[in-house]
Amino acid sequence: MTRINHTFLFLICSLIISATGLFGGVKLQVRDGRPIVDGVFVNGHGPYRFLVDTGSNVNLIETGIAKKIGMNTTFQVELASAAGKVPASGSDGNEVSLDSAKADEQKFLFSELAAIHNASPDVQGVLGEWFLSRFDYTLDLKGKRLEFGKQDRSGARVPYKIVNARPVVSTSLGDLALDSGAGRLTLFGVRSDVRSDVGGDFKSELRTVAGTQKIGLVSSKPLVIDGRKIWDGDAVAIPSRPEPGVDGLLPLGLFKTVYVCNSEGYVVFE
């Protein structure tokens, strides 16, 4: 199974979105549909390799790196996901830069990143919505490039709402959170109706930074967004509903390109 790594943290942060024109971009690695970027600097230290995860509303950094570069604990929270809850320590007031994109007042949670390291042991952190929400950006998964700045993209503009500090779009399968860190389309509050030992690479365990949970597959109805059929197949089924207002996770690996216009509150899928 391709691992699904996502986190939910019930915090609210005030963000100032950069709505300027295109001002920079970096190359991506795409592993099992998940975007990974080199060249992340934290408080001037780096460069580091981070997962770009629209499904995480927090930034994460390896505990060892945080200690090495002098990030002190300034707050403690309970980190929750579909697989459980764990206490977590973090640091605020940090600066993050990736090429020409820079953001201050950034918060990080410290983590061993065990779930992520199972698939990508060289990843040293996660850039979540605490960073991404500051920008308009394009994830070009086919061209393997992340571009920051406002663009005039062709295609339908699909509005999103913010639930738990993450963008959520309305679909034929419910309200799904945009999740570049998810390997499969995932539905909450659904019990599996497909044997979990079929499907090639599928295994019946969800691993996140906050724990593990048994999961299965469900024969899903087609995924339709704004009248356009996007996908048809078996979805990951999680019987619990870990988050009010969210019916599941929409993996961005289903698309060639995703433009997120945070300054105006819409997404363009290509």
- Name the residue among 169, 181, 179 with its Cα closest to residue 228: 169
Band the pLDDT of 8: cuts 50, 70, 90. very low
Tokens of 208: 């996140």
Express each pLDDT in 238-270 by its tens digit. 888 878 899 999 999 999 999 999 999 999 999
The Cα–Cα gap between 134 and 142 comes to 24
Q: What is the pLDDT of residue 205?
A: 57
Backbone angles phi, psi at 200, to 5 degrees: 70, -95
In words, the CATH class of domain 24-148 is mainly beta
Q: What is the dihedral of CA 137, 110, 90, 92, to 10 degrees?
A: -40
Tokens of 222: 């087609």
Express each pLDDT in 11-45 by its tens digit. 333 334 444 455 568 999 999 999 999 999 999 99
Number of Cβ atoms within 10 Å of the Cβ of 209: 24
Residue type, 119: A
DSSP secondary structure letter of residue 168: E
Residues 6+ apart with CB under 8 A from 89: 73, 75, 76, 109, 110
Burial bucket for residue 111 (CB in 10 Å: 0-12, 13-18, 19+) = buried
pTM over 0.95: no
**Is 158-269 a CATH 2.40.70.10 domain?**
yes
Q: What is the pLDDT of residue 23?
A: 58
Backbone angles phi, psi at 189, to 5 degrees: 70, 30
Report the greatest alpha carbon distance in the chain. 50
Domain boundaries, the chain: 24-148, 158-269
